[in-house]
């Protein structure tokens, strides 16, 4: 299929279309601020403030309310050990008391050495992950090299506003774990957990995480943390996805049903009770 475009026809269509007013579109009245094109660049502080106010006015972030609350939850985590980076997450997509999907993918590879574990609205996270993949690919085509992990985290902090994302990577400069918050903050550390089940996951990770963990021990710790979180958090559950990122790239373990972990835990408890 061949696609063609016409500049003149596009301009005519743009001139013929009449944009609706803010009252017709249901948006609140815009305060008197200069347009984006007329923001003075000589006054950096005032210009940036007016630009920010105008952006909020156009988008309606400060006044437009959501028609219904977005109630959701998840459990995602990542930590660094001697063998690289481990990323884990449950697979339950929920909306308030409804389990929308028991087999969602909350960890998505961006390229061979970078994966993203997202927490928040599923549709929004998927959208920005696709935009991030596109921007990283365009950067590589333009500059002949891949964008660094810190550069990727900075790009996310500039793009993301209502979302939270955790980046896990193991480039040539060593493994890195970066948490990008919805307010633009970027935190780099050795352990992060995000979502409604994160307090329970932290309880397991803080007690069992060591630098000299073996690969199997690291997988077991991540599985245990997600399992304990899903056992107490109603918004998390079903399965666990495990990723291992090294200098050679990322690899994914086969998805495991958390009910198997529950049965293993019950058998362990029975054995301990019999010994006592």
203 or 163: which leads in pLDDT? 203
- Band the pLDDT of 265: cuts 50, 70, 90: confident
Percent of the chain with pLDDT over 70: 67
Nearest in space to 224 (alpha carbons), one of 101, 79, 96, 9: 79
Model pLDDT for residues 142-200, shown as the tens digit of each residue: 999 988 888 888 888 887 654 445 556 655 567 889 998 777 778 899 999 999 999 99
Model pLDDT for residues 224-262, shown as the tens digit of each residue: 999 999 989 988 999 999 999 998 999 999 999 988 888
Positions annotated as catalytic residues are 74
Q: What sign results for the dihedral spanned by CA atoms 54, 58, 61, 65?
A: positive
Give residues with Cβ within 8 angstroms of 152, minimum separation 6: 110, 114, 132, 136, 167, 169
| Helix-then-strand count for the chain, H and E | 8, 13
- Band the pLDDT of 68: cuts 50, 70, 90: low
Q: Residue 53's CB: how many other CB atoms inside 10 A?
A: 15
pTM over 0.75: no
pLDDT of residue 167: 59
Q: What dotted CATH number matches 70-274?
A: 3.60.20.10
Name the residue with tokens 């333009």: 142
- The full set of domain ranges for the chain reads 70-274
Q: Is residue 200 classed as helix, strand or coil in its secondary structure?
A: helix
């Amino acid at each position: 299929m061949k696609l063609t475009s016409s500049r003149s026809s596009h301009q005519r269509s743009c001139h013929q279309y009449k944009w609706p007013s803010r009252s017709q579109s249901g948006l609140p009245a815009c305060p008197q601020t200069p347009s984006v094109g007329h923001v003075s660049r000589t006054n950096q502080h005032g210009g940036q403030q007016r630009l920010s106010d105008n952006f909020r006015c156009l988008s309606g972030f400060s006044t437009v309310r959501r028609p219904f609350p977005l109630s959701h939850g998840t459990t995602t985590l990542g930590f660094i050990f001697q063998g690289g980076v481990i990323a884990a997450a449950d697979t339950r997509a929920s909306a308030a008391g409804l389990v929308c999907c028991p087999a969602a993918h909350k960890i998505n590879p961006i390229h061979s050495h970078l994966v993203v574990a997202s927490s928040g609205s599923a549709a929004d996270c998927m959208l920005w992950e696709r935009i991030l993949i596109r921007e990283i690919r365009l950067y590589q085509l333009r500059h002949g090299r891949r964008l660094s992990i810190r550069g990727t985290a900075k790009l996310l902090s500039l793009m993301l506003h209502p979302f939270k994302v955790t980046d896990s990577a193991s480039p040539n400069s060593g493994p890195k774990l970066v948490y990008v918050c919805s307010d633009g903050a970027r935190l780099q550390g050795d352990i992060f957990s995000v979502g409604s089940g994160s307090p329970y996951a932290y309880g397991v990770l803080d007690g069992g995480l060591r630098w000299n963990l073996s690969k199997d021990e690291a997988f077991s710790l991540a599985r245990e943390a997600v399992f304990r979180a899903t056992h107490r958090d109603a918004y998390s559950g079903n399965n666990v996805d495990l990723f291992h990122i090294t200098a050679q790239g990322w690899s994914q373990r086969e998805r495991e049903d958390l009910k198997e972990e529950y049965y293993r835990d019950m058998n362990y408890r029975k054995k301990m009770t019999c010994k006592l």
